[in-house]
Chain A
């Protein structure tokens, strides 16, 4: 009888130690980033790679990591036709600086566009381990505002098209940029 009691005690303590075992799985869709694709303005159905594109959020000094496999400065530079950038989850606007040919020794070749995305957001329950995620809806009337730095320069992003105003996963392209 005593042996059984002891066994049960051990079983219970091993049970209670399993309480904090769940970790949010990296494959669980959580707060999505804004997915942008770049197209050739002269041939709008063809994807076009950007050259050394760096994206810096307003008020930040470091760029968004666009190339996670690289290290050093080049992890902030994209030479691809697709990027994903995180929106702020506690405000309704997020401003980014899109720097094309970033780091080029010739400053006249560096093009900087500033884009502010306007959206509403709401928090959606995911699971015990992941908590909530934030989903975004781009403002239907005024999804973004675009300026150049300096303002006299021409916009390098010649046309921005909103493909999906509901940003609830990263499997689709939300914004198409033609340049």
Chain B
């Protein structure tokens, strides 16, 4: 007996000897199942490196600016958006737009007309599965606008209205050749809805860098692309885009290890 045991320990570990004894007792289908499992595992391993990323140009339009003109008689505007994929994560991005907006404040009525361009990049922080191409990005833009501003009418502020509240005064004074530049931090989402069509959404926080004032006696209340100006040079904006992706080439994604 002891001799037999010693032999078994030498040649095969206890476990296998147990399995073997089991196999003897069971139906011979079991080893087949095990084989199948190992086969599927190797299959998925070989599929992953085949994944390819599409590279190309995405162009589109800001639907918010486009449709706002339909219900807001004080606004006409258009913004074209585009991005070009540079690497797996980085996209060169730009917006080009034109706006004509009349702003009705409590004591000021002004019309701003002009065009703007924003150029920068987006970084896609979203890890897509399989062939998904969605984007959750943060990015940076430099914005520049040339515009004119017209003071249509105004009211003077009088803390002591003994003589009664003064009516609106018409002015018509126009300030042309105004410029402004700013930096924009963009947080955005783009979702592929069908084939190459994406809908997107972005929120923007702006910081004015240069602002050519109309005169000592006035200031820029609205800047195309930058939107309404606030005290402290900060601004905010958003857009709601529909874009079409023009695929140009594909790049194989290197498997991660």
Contact = CB atoms under 8 A, between A and B. Distances in A.
Residue among B108, B136, B156, B203 with max Cβ neighbours from chain A (10 Å): B156
Given A57-B162, A86-B163, A1 B154 contact: no
Interface in A58-106: 60, 64-65, 84-86, 88-90
Interface string B164-207: 00100100000000000000000001010000000001010000
Contacts of A65: 162
Contacts of B46: none
Given A130-B157, A131-B108, A131-B155, A15 B201 contact: no
A11 B237 CA distance: 11
B166 A4 contact: no
Query: What is the size category of the interface that chain B forms with chain A?
Result: 20 to 34
Interface stretch (A37-45, A120-128, A150-158): A120-128
Interface string A8-39: 11011001000110001010001101000000
Given A4-B136, A86-B163, A128-B221, A31 B158 contact: yes
A46 interface: no
A5 interface: yes
Contacts, number: 87
Contact of A19 (B136, B158, B169, B228): B228
Contacts of A127: 231
A30 B157 contact: yes
17 contacts: A1-B189, A4-B189, A8-B189, A15-B238, A31-B157, A31-B160, A85-B162, A86-B162, A88-B163, A123-B169, A125-B218, A127-B231, A128-B108, A131-B105, A131-B107, A132-B157, A134-B158
Given A20-B106, A125-B218, 13 more contacts: A8-B203, A11-B203, A12-B203, A15-B203, A31-B158, A60-B162, A85-B162, A89-B166, A90-B166, A129-B107, A131-B105, A131-B106, A132-B156
